[in-house]
């Protein structure tokens, strides 16, 4: 039985980790970390856990937790883990970090976009970017996993086969993204109040969203060239879900059938990436509550552009589900263990 500790267990991603791990046959949660609710019953914070979780919220003592847990999930603000993680701690336990602290390999880029100094640069090269469908072999046996961001997961998986094949002009990429309000976290913010978001949609982080360099870096690895793109996220009045629509110019005339064959070949063995039938567009309602990413492509022969689409649940495949998928790989378990979550509808 894998002993698991969760730091940040009362945030949305942390709560989703608890929900998923309670159904995992090889896991026992031993630590519900929460700086805001220390000493309180976890089930009083999330009432859906009534009679399911008996534990109380503990502090974020990583030193003590590393002595007890086989793996620690850190669903914490940017900069937190980088400020306390050491090689000595990693010698005692595994860490799956849901923040951005180890996702970006270039420290200067991280510090520029996040506006903070990185406190453990010596660990960046060891960290494995935990996009399982791309870095599966590197993840196995790793000590430190940088769990990808939600927008980068959906964007990269929707674009990756074409970038890898070198069929699109990478400097023409534009990504239009939509997300539910849970992506902004559980903290109280005026901009996320019901009256502020209901019956409205808005762009935010225009030309400045922190997931931009993460997407660029991953697509640069895929294409073998430096990628600079436009990424614009939008907030929509729903609890969870991400939809991305990406546009890129094709380098040559390629039929939609050829591109679909490329996607079929790339994802045919991937349980959690579903290529939809031709002409069917991804929708967030068909992946809600699951670890699936639905993708599809459409060629616009009139403009010689390709439209790449993806939909997923930002709290599952975009955070907690992917973190569990990474844990399974680290410990040699079936990758889908605890993750056979049927999408919820309605």
CATH number for position 239: 3.30.360.10
Assess if residue 134 is contained within a domain: no
**Residues 169 and 226 reside in one and the same domain:** yes
**Residues 112 and 155 reside in one and the same domain:** no
What is the total count of domains within the chain? 2
**Residues 166 and 246 reside in one and the same domain:** yes
Assess if residue 338 is contained within a domain: no
**Residues 158 and 119 reside in one and the same domain:** no
**Residues 170 and 106 reside in one and the same domain:** no
pLDDT in tens, 200-258: 999 999 999 999 999 999 999 999 999 999 999 999 999 999 999 999 999 999 999 99
**Residues 95 and 182 reside in one and the same domain:** no
150 among known catalytic residues: yes
Assess if residue 163 is contained within a domain: yes
Average pLDDT over residues 255-270: 97
Assess if residue 326 is contained within a domain: no
Q: What is the mean pLDDT of the chain?
A: 97
Assess if residue 337 is contained within a domain: no
**Residues 96 and 237 reside in one and the same domain:** no
Q: In what order do the strands lie in the sheet with 128-129?
A: 57-58, 27-33, 2-7, 71-74, 94-97, 144-146, 128-129
Angle, helices 132-139/150-165, rounded to nearest 10 degrees:
90
* Stated pTM of the model: 0.96
Assess if residue 346 is contained within a domain: no
**Residues 162 and 42 reside in one and the same domain:** no
Angle, helices 321-330/12-21, rounded to nearest 10 degrees:
50
pLDDT at position 246, please?
98
pLDDT at position 183, please?
85
**Residues 74 and 169 reside in one and the same domain:** no
The yes-or-no verdict on residue 187 having pLDDT over 80 is no
Average pLDDT over residues 148-158: 98
The CATH number of the domain holding residue 107 is 3.40.50.720
Among candidate residues 132, 150, 154, 281, the one labeled active-site is 150
**Residues 169 and 289 reside in one and the same domain:** yes
**Residues 220 and 290 reside in one and the same domain:** yes
The yes-or-no verdict on residue 65 having pLDDT over 90 is yes
The yes-or-no verdict on residue 192 having pLDDT over 90 is no
Range of the domain at 229: 151-314
**For a pLDDT cut of 90, what percent of the chain falls above it?**
95
Assess if residue 110 is contained within a domain: yes
Assess if residue 343 is contained within a domain: no
CA angle, 337 then 339 then 344, to 5° = 155
Instruction: Name beta bridge partners: 129.
Output: 146
pLDDT in tens, 66-100: 999 999 999 999 999 999 999 999 999 999 999 99
d(CA 24, CA 18) in angstroms, rounded, equals: 10
Average pLDDT over residues 141-145: 96
pLDDT in tens, 280-309: 999 999 999 999 999 999 999 999 999 999
**Residues 68 and 11 reside in one and the same domain:** yes
The yes-or-no verdict on residue 188 having pLDDT over 90 is no
């Amino acid at each position: 039985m894998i002993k698991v500790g969760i730091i940040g267990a009362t945030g949305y991603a942390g709560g989703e980790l608890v929900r998923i791990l309670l159904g995992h046959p090889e896991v026992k949660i031993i630590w519900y970390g929460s700086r805001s609710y220390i000493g309180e019953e976890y089930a009083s914070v999330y009432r859906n856990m009534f009679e399911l979780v008996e534990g109380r919220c503990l502090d974020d003592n990583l030193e003590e937790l590393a002595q007890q847990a086989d793996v620690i999930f850190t669903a914490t603000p940017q900069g937190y883990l980088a400020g306390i993680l050491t090689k000595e701690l990693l010698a005692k336990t595994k860490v799956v970090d849901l923040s951005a602290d180890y996702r970006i390999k270039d420290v200067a880029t991280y510090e520029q976009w996040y506006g903070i100094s990185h406190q453990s640069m010596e660990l960046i090269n060891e960290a494995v970017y935990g996009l399982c469908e791309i870095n599966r072999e590197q993840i196995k046996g790793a000590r430190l996993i940088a769990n990808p961001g939600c927008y980068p997961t959906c964007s990269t998986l929707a674009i990756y086969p074409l970038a890898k094949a070198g069929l699109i002009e990478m400097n023409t990429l534009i990504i239009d993204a939509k997300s539910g309000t849970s992506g902004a976290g559980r903290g109280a913010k005026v901009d996320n109040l019901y009256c502020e978001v209901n019956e409205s949609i808005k762009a935010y982080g225009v030309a400045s969203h922190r997931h931009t360099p993460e997407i660029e870096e991953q697509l640069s690895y895929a294409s073998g060239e430096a990628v600079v793109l436009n990424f614009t996220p939008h907030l929509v009045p729903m609890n969870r879900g991400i939809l991305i629509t990406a546009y890129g110019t094709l380098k040559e005339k390629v039929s939609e059938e050829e591109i679909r064959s490329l996607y079929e070949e790339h994802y045919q063995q991937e349980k959690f990436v579903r290529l939809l039938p031709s002409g069917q567009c991804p929708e967030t309602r068909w992946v809600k509550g699951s670890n699936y990413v639905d993708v599809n492509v459409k060629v616009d022969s009139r403009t010689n552009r390709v439209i790449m689409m993806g939909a997923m649940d930002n709290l599952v495949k975009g955070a907690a589900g992917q973190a569990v998928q990474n844990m399974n790989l680290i410990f040699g378990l079936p990758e889908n263990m605890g993750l056979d979550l049927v999408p919820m509808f309605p």
